[in-house]
Amino acid sequence: MVHQYLVTEPLKALENLDFELPVVRDPRSDSYLRQEQRGLLIGPYETEGAETCFADGVPWSFDQELLEPDIDRLMPWLERCGERLPLFAEAGIRRVVAGPITHLPDGGFLLGPAPGLVNHWLACGSSIGISQGAGAGRYLAQWMVHGDCEIDTAPFDPRRFGPWSCGDYARAKGIEEYQHMYAPVLPGEHRPAGRPVRTSPLYRKLTERGAHHTEIFGWERPTWFDHDGYREEWSFRRNNTFTAVAAECRAVMEGVGVMDMSSFAKFMVQGEGARAHLEHILANDMPERDGGIALAHFLSGNGRILGEVTVTRLAADRYYVLGGAGSELRDLDNLHNGAPEGGVHIENITDGFGVLVVAGPRSRDLLQGLCDDP
């Protein structure tokens, strides 16, 4: 993203201060303000018309250069800054600075192991790195040295994004995130830019029947069905979807429901060493018979839970592993962790298979109508 800020001429009101003004973040003008020597520094975040740069990657020759400023683009937000801080409205402009700033699709940053690589680490992508640097360095050092750190790393783990998150999606989401820098994210709110990316074969059919979707690891996952033609109104309190969701829950509790959970991560682990490997990396014994299912967990060296999966035995040397959608690449790395050179083959089959969940007291009746055997 292209971000701009301006620095004012020295202000008499600041000349005799014996303290530095605090940093101010103002959601109304979508700007931050702070003292810069005896002047002010103002940095607006445009809520529309934001521009990107380096869509094909930053040139290796680009080091500390700046971009061409365009102050006219900032005028609506600068006017609001002047209303909020009359001192700024009276100031002259000394210089305008424009430069690149990273904005990831979820507003976070990348800190941790690169997916699919051994001993390759990332520490990048931060849009407010000056406030995150010390903690990021601490936890990355712990992670690199000990293989784990003292907090949950999922919110900034690079493996929360996959190949689907590049290109047009990254650009659309980066713009959306930049333009909402000062906007609150309400419970249940999932913004639309760049979507859909990953859909199951049932996506269109469910949408036609009124399904509203959330995004999980790029997947469109149904959350509720609208039969009355109204739009969800996000809120910190119980919102207008409560009645519809309650009816769906009641239908499942008293009858039967079918849920499309094709976004789940799916892996095939097979080979003569498959069972021994899974029992080595997971905190549970594997099923003893074909068709048996076991719930198991990946653990860190200090016993912290890294992930939860179900393992279905298809044969003595073949196991189907099912995990959460958001942990697909983390689970894949954990499955490969310590795998012997031969005897175990691990394959990510997420995009090749769907998952339907049948739940409710009438589940058996529904399935019996589809099967010849009892």
Q: Which long-range contacts (CB under 8 A, 24 or more apart) does 136-145 make?
A: 136/109, 136/111, 139/111, 140/111, 140/112, 143/112, 143/113
113 in a domain, yes or no? no
Q: Which of 281-285, 311-315, 335-339 has the lowest mean pLDDT?
A: 335-339
Q: Is the pLDDT of residue 56 over 90?
A: no
At residue 25, the pLDDT reads: 93
Helices (H), 65-191: 75-84, 86-89, 129-146, 168-179
In a domain, 336, yes or no: yes
Confirm whether 62 is domain-assigned: yes
Residue 342: per-residue pLDDT = 84
Q: Is residue 96 part of a domain?
A: yes
DSSP state of 313: E
Q: Is the pLDDT of residue 303 over 90?
A: no
Residue (of 268, 262, 292) closest to 357 by Cα position: 262
CATH of the domain at 313: 3.30.70.1400
Distances (CA, A) of 66 to 32, 45, 94, 215, 348: 20, 18, 16, 35, 42
Question: What are 158-206's pLDDT values in tens digits?
Answer: 999 999 999 999 999 999 999 999 999 899 898 999 999 999 999 999 9
- Closest to 312 measured CA to CA, from 283, 287, 284: 287
Average pLDDT estimate for 210-236: 91
Q: Are 275 and 286 in contact (CB under 8 A)?
A: yes
Q: Please give the structure tokens belonging to residue 257.
A: 């429901």
Domain of 56, in residue numbers: 2-100
Cis peptide before 196 (omega within 30 of 0): yes
Residue 231 in domain? no
In this model, does residue 351 exceed pLDDT 90? yes
pLDDT tens per residue across span 62-95:
988 999 999 999 999 999 999 988 889 889 999 9
CATH, residue 61: 3.30.9.10
Q: Is 211 strand, coil or helix?
A: strand
The pLDDT, as a whole number, for residue 230 is 80
Query: Does residue 298 surpass a pLDDT of 90?
Result: yes
Q: Which of 355, 371, 361, 360 is nearest to 310 (CA)?
A: 355
* Boundary-marking domain end, from 100, 124, 151: 100
The encoded tokens of residue 45 equal 């975040």
Please provide residue 116's backbone torsions phi and psi, each rounded to the nearest 5 degrees. Answer: 80, 0
18 pLDDT higher than 80: yes
Is residue 4 within 8 Å of 70, Cβ to Cβ? yes
In a domain? residue 303: yes
Q: What is the pLDDT of residues 117-171, one digit of tens each?
A: 989 999 999 988 778 889 999 999 999 999 888 898 999 999 999 999 999 999 9
Q: Say if residue 317's pLDDT is above 90.
A: yes
Residue 72 belongs to a domain: yes
Answer with the residue of higher pLDDT: 290 or 373. 290
Q: Specify the number of domains making up the chain.
A: 2
100, 119, 147 - which closes a domain: 100
pTM value?
0.90
Place of tokens 């099912």: 322
Residue 89: the pLDDT is 87
Q: How far apart are CA 332 and CA 340, in angstroms?
A: 15
pLDDT, mean over the chain: 93
pLDDT score for 188? 86
Last residue of a domain, one of 100, 135, 153: 100
| 238 within some domain | no
Q: Give CA separation, 307 vs 17, 231, 290, 351, in Å.
A: 54, 35, 24, 20
What span, in angstroms and rounded, lies between the C-alpha atoms of 232 and 242? 10
The tens digit of pLDDT for each residue in 34-43 reads 999 999 999 9
